[in-house]
Amino acid sequence: MLPSFELSAQPAFSALQALASALCDASIEQLFNADSARAQDFTLEAAGLHLDYSKHLLDRSARDALLELARQAGMGQRINALLGGEPVNNTEGRPALHSLLRATSPGALQDKFDQVCAARSRMRVYADTLNTGQQRGYSGEVITDVVNIGIGGSDLGPRLVTDALKPFHGSVSVHYVANVDPADLQDTLLELNPATTLFIICSKSFRTEETLTNSLAARNWMLNSGASAADLAKHFLAITSNLEAATEFGLAAENCLPMWDWVGGRYSVWSAVGLSCAIAVGWEHFEQFLGGAERMDQHFASAESHANMPLLMSLLEVWYSNFFGAGNHVVLPYDNSLQRLPDFLQQLTMESNGKRVSADGHVLDYATGPVLWGSAGTMGQHSFHQLLHQGTRLCPVDFILPLTTHTGMSEQHRLLVANCLAQSRALMVGRSEQAARAELQQRGLDDTQITRLAPHLVLPGNRPNSVISMAALTPATLGALLALYEHRTFCSAQLWGINPFDQWGVELGKDIGVQVLQRLSGDSATGAVMDAATERLMQAWQDAQA
């Protein structure tokens, strides 16, 4: 069990408050001028990733004070507890062993490691059989398409990895259905032939409404195409920790791959939950993906605090959330194939750290996980970057930048890179009133017009941002990147004193959803009476059905 920790009660907390208020009025550009080694010394390397955190409202003293906070939190022991399989998920009494899913040696966790290896071998067989055209459906035709049905952690990770590694795809087309809106499944099935389609029902609990509803509809689609009940075994697999529910659904145990209660859904892409992406990219590339994450785990376990990339990024998150009042964090991948990264990171960080009580259950008097959002560059530049540059809210940014492209169009890629570096610099330097006036003067405006327009051209700058770059987006660097954010999330949770591995907050909506459904189905005997607004909306739905 991890010792409890309260951020605001630490001696480092008040020291950090004083340092933050001093730095509030500092200029990041001046910090560069005052420290000639800054561009070099505020960077880190790990597992093929390069972090440049020099464009932050942070000097060496503030960095030391943040590292002292990590020391007061006993971060080293906490990291060991996580990686060593201690029950760090204290409300559910479980370890959180996503790192074991990509490990190549068992450490002290031989039993669990054996289970992981056995699951990996089965995944490999499916990935190889499908990619070599040896898996056939009920009519004898080769399976050409795989549809992953899952939601949340059973969708976002595999979907991101499949998208991001398009240059590594094999012969099978992989699709994803998550939403209970029937249009999601319908649109996907429109393109597919049942005789050549394999469904993977991905649900750790095998109780998730959306996934079960879509799975039943997929089964009917298959049966209506002429497949018999016995044929379904050739077209459905499940990934679950609830074998009983999966067999009740009609799946044979040999068609089910395991998940374990010691892996959280949002941390599960490395397990059989990643089967759809392993099929998409082939086993060798999936292993490289695991290998990249394992390298990040090794770095996380062994790097000194000051050189530990996930820890440094977490300290920056706490710095802005708790000492500068930043309520959000922006992730901007300058790589189109990473456009789903913000979605994945939203679940990872907000389901993990969107908590208002400490791990031991008392209400916290400080902010925890910020809202995370973002999109692929350069799209946001023509949309929300206005707010980043001139809005009233502080939005720390992570730019993610692969330095080469798989497209072969390096000239065009140069433009993408230029935009990324320009945005990072523009956020930092801004534009002074003097520069704004000079620009307007150059445009030939008179003094009255210049005075009227100059305030609108001023960008205050000093908007903190990091650049995480890599030589290329490969399975290995993608694995390292996702593991980096997982460990950053863990460290921040430790500094906030919360449990990042449960998600009690999502349950109430599910319970009320069942009650509303009962009412919409005309079951007024069991359906609860709701508030007046919900009653009116339910009535509107009933009226629309007439």
d(CA 163, CA 338): 7
Which position among 287, 294, 317, 351 bears the catalytic label?
Answer: 351
Residue 237 burial (10 A CB sphere; 0-12, 13-18, 19+): buried
Q: Which of 265, 282, 464, 500 binds ligand F6P (CB under 6 A)?
A: 265
Smallest distance, Å, CB 266 to ligand F6P? 5
Does residue 503 interact with ligand F6P by CB under 6 A? yes
Query: Which residue, 197 or 211, has its beta carbon nearer to ligand F6P?
Result: 211
Q: Which of residues 328-387 bind ligand F6P (CB under 6 A)?
A: 351
- Least separation in angstroms between residue 506's CB and ligand F6P is 4
- Identify which of residues 45 and 209 has a Cβ nearer to ligand F6P in the complex: 209
CB of 348 to ligand F6P, least distance (A): 10
Beta bridge mates, 43: 52
- The enclosing H or E element of 145 equals strand 145-149
- In the set 166, 244, 510, 535, the catalytic residue is 510
* Cα–Cα dist 161/478, whole Å: 8
- Selecting among 254, 382, 456, 507, the annotated active-site residue is 382
Helix (H, G, I), strand (E, B) or coil at 169: coil
Q: Strands across the sheet with 173-177, in order?
A: 173-177, 145-149, 197-202, 236-240, 256-258
* Local structure of 363: helix, strand or coil: strand
Q: Distance (Å, rounded) from C-alpha 316 to C-alpha 318?
A: 5
Q: Does residue 382 carry a catalytic annotation? A: yes
Please provide the distance, in angstroms rounded to a whole number, between the alpha carbons at the two ends of the chain: 57
Q: Between residues 23 and 97, which has the closer beta carbon with respect to ligand F6P?
A: 97
152-160, 328-336, 444-452, 491-499 -> range binding ligand F6P (CB under 6 A): 152-160
Of 145-153, 332-340, 421-429, 465-473, which part binds ligand F6P (CB under 6 A)?
145-153
Q: Which of 85, 95, 137, 153 binds ligand F6P (CB under 6 A)?
A: 153
| Sole window of 7-15, 25-33, 148-156, 160-168 interacting with ligand F6P (rule: CB under 6 A) | 148-156
Convert 140-157 to b/e letters by CB count within 10 Å (16 or more is b): eeebbbbbbbbbbbbbbb
Distance of alpha carbon 528 from alpha carbon 524, whole angstroms: 7
Nearest distance in Å: CB 277, ligand F6P: 16
Q: What residues contact residue 124 under an 8 Å CB cut-off, 6+ apart?
A: 278, 283
Alpha-carbon gap, residue 206 to 22, rounded angstroms: 52
CB 70 within 8 A of CB 311: yes
112 is catalytic: no
- Span 194-253, contacts to ligand F6P by CB under 6 A: 203-205, 208, 211
Binding of residue 266 to ligand F6P (CB under 6 A):
yes
Nearest residue (CB) to ligand F6P, 208 versus 349: 208
Question: Would you please indicate which residues are annotated as catalytic (active-site) residues?
Answer: 351, 382, 510
Q: Contact positions toward ligand F6P, by CB under 6 A? A: 151-154, 203-205, 208, 211, 265-266, 351, 503, 506
